[in-house]
Structure 1
Amino acid sequence: MNILFVCTGNTCRSPMAEALFKSAAAEKNLDVSVKSAGLFAPENGKASLYAVEALFEKNIALNHTSSQLSEEKVEWADLVLTMTEQHKQLAAHEFSESRDKIYTLKEYVKGESGDIIDP
């Protein structure tokens, strides 16, 4: 399964979700591929220092450069998980042929609405 996490700039929330999920998947020996992207991400931007430090506290390294959400990434993904309802709406509008696989993270995991706020 291919999972894509999406936020605004791909420097904090989605790279953290990607790193946390990769770590958990490795511990459970799950056969998944995970990436992240941003709706308005600069290409090759650095991860937020706060994201790097927060993951370091959990013994998870974050060596990440940002990338823009693209049709290629959405097509690659079996599941697209956004950090906010607005991200979901923008991605579903931009990639309408893939709207059936785009969810907010809270919607997919907990079955409820709500956003992952930008720390």
Structure 2
Amino acid sequence: MKRILFVCTGNTCRSPMAEAIFRAKSDGQGLEIRSAGVAASAGQDASLHAKQVLEERGIAHDHKASKVDEGLIEWSDVILTMTHGHKRAILTYFPSATEKVHTLQEFVGIEGFSDIADPYGGSLMDYRRCAEEIEESLERLSLMLKDPGLRKSVDE
């Protein structure tokens, strides 16, 4: 079974949206999907705008924030971060994760390896744009998992 961990800063906006959207997309693919933050306050709810964006997409997600820890690092097969800064933070504290930590966009081959901007404190429209950007990457990830030739890179 493939275990995917999405990571952002506080685990209240980007990574919970990525977790929920990808869980909905990959239903029945035998994946375990979680999210966490490099500076999360454990137990915190997802932001109101993140919940609303998911609700607009018909995705139910009862989320409580988790902080990245050794257990989650060991649990995961692939760690997909929202920014290069998140990736660096994980590698600073968990150098053993080098082979499995990537930014989401670099992992799925989006040119330029850009970061997914943090909508925290922004408008509902900012969250919608963020969710669209995440979903574009998740579409590519979903295709990678379905295509045996592309899946090899995910399974390594």
Query: Structure 2 length as normaliser, TM-score?
Result: 0.73
Q: What are the ranges of 5 or more consecutive residues in structure 1 without an aligned counterpart?
A: none
Matched, 1:100 2:89: no
The one-letter code of the counterpart of 2:115 is D
Q: Where in structure 2 are the equivalents of 1:19-98 lying within 5 Å?
A: 19-26=20-27, 29-98=28-97
Matched, 1:18 2:24: no
Once the two structures are superposed, residues 22-65 of structure 1 have per-residue CA deviations (whole angstroms, 9 ceiling, x without a partner) of: 00011xx2010000000000010010001000011110012101
- How many equivalent pairs are there? 117
After superposition, the CA RMSD in angstroms is: 0.8
Task: Write the distance in 2 (CA, Å) between the matches of 1:55 and 1:46.
Answer: 14
Identity %: 45
Q: What are the ranges of 5 or more consecutive residues in structure 2 without an aligned counterpart?
A: 120-156
Corresponding residue SS for 1:110? coil
Higher RCO (CA < 8 A, seq sep 6+): 1
Structure 1 residue aligned with 2:117:
117
Corresponding residue SS for 2:36? strand
The one-letter code of the counterpart of 1:41 is A
Query: Higher helix proportion, which one?
Result: 2
The one-letter code of the counterpart of 1:81 is L
Structure ID, larger Rg: 2
Query: Structure 1 length as normaliser, TM-score?
Result: 0.95
Once the two structures are superposed, residues 78-105 of structure 1 have per-residue CA deviations (whole angstroms, 9 ceiling, x without a partner) of: 0000000000011111110111100000
